Amino acid sequence: MKDWLRQLPKAELHLHIEGTLEPEQMFELAARNGVQLPFVDVGAVRAAYKFDDLQSFLDLYYQGMNVLHTENDFFELAMAYFQRAHADGVVHADISFDPQAHLTRGLDLATPFDGLTRAMQQAEQTIGMTSALIMSFLRDREAAEAAEVLEQARPWHDVIAAVGLDSAEQNNPPEKFTAVFERARALGIRRVAHAGEEGPAAYIRGALDALDACRIDHGVRCLEDPDLVAHLRESQMPLTVCPLSNVYLKVVDRLVDHPLPAMLDAGLNVSLNSDDPAYFGGGMQNNFLACHEAFGWDENIFRGLARNAVNAAFVTDARRAEILDAIDHC
Ligand SMILES: [Zn+2]
């Protein structure tokens, strides 16, 4: 099963590129850019990955990305992810990045955009892996700042597949960003949003109603609202679930307690994703394998989950058909 899962063609829809920064690369970039890390070695970084909740992770996540300074740093970060994901059988990835986390520490917008898009092109040319870029707003910062970033990103609007909403969910409801997302809609840019990870089911409704999101990132708390579940089932709204992330951030105590089987039983459109693989126990293969071990799912269930992801991915129709065909033949 392990080998079969690895070669199953997968699309990853919920992936923060800054969350793919492995400790080894963190030290390499810190040394190159003269950044002092508050860790003595790689082992100390890994030992710090004991999170109490989303906020305790975010504190470390923002600290880690301080080592990213140049266009080439972003290029190398993304290429390292593409290569690892490729080895996990990922053939397409919708990668998200957090421009505000870089602008607020003095970088310009071109630095992440140019490095990431160069890596995306190279990954397609060298390993045949396609990708799309999601520009995410930090929901624990002011909506006006997100609006400013969206305008500032005007030169790259044609390379943004969607805007997203991430970071600390509690007390930052989707409605705070209604105007920014309306602006994105007017510009013809798709919208996705994290909702119902730590926040309540009402935030999922908010992401659908106020933000007109076409995908919900996480969404695991939808089960608290039966009417919402019925709506998500009828609309087949894609929910990008991240099993190991939910365990690491204590959304659930153990994977066997995860609502994923109940979500599938409810007929919801679920996909499996790694979120921040450097921090949450590994990439797509580890997530798929952990679900196999926790839930005993067979090949047919994993094929269905892989299809869900490809159907919701930001790819051309031709590429979607190609990947779906490959899934059918594995
Ligand atoms: Zn996420």
Q: How many Å apart are CA 34 and CA 46, to the nearest integer?
A: 21
DSSP letter assigned to residue 259: S
Q: What is the CA radius of gyration of the chain?
A: 18
Structurally, how many domains does the chain consist of? 1
DSSP 74: H
Looking up tokens 């092109």 gives: 121
* Cα within 13 Å of Cα(171), Cβ side: 5
Q: Which of 18, 22, 169, 197 is catalytic?
A: 197
Long-range contacts formed by 30-34: CB under 8 A, 24+ apart: 30/67, 32/73, 33/67, 33/69, 33/70, 33/73
pLDDT digit string, tens, across residues 236-276: 999 999 999 999 999 999 999 999 999 999 999 999 999 99
Residue 293 falls in the annotated catalytic set: no
Ligand 1 (ion): residues with CB under 5 Å are: 275
Tokens 């960003």 sit on residue: 177
3 state SS of 271: strand
Q: Is the pTM of this model over 0.85?
A: yes
Ligand 1 geometric centre to CA of 329 (Å): 31
CATH number for the domain spanning 208: value is: 3.20.20.140
34 Cα to the center of ligand 1, angstroms: 29
End-to-end CA distance of the chain: 12
CA 220, CA 239: separation in Å to the nearest integer?
8
Residue 2 pLDDT grade (very low, low, confident, very high; cuts 50, 70, 90): very high
Give the tens place of pLDDT for each residue, 169-197.
999 999 999 999 999 999 999 999 999 99
Q: Residue 103: which domain range?
A: 2-328
Q: Quote the tokens at residue 43.
A: 């082992």
Ligand 1: distance of its center to the CA of 213 in Å? 15
CA distance 74 to 180: 26
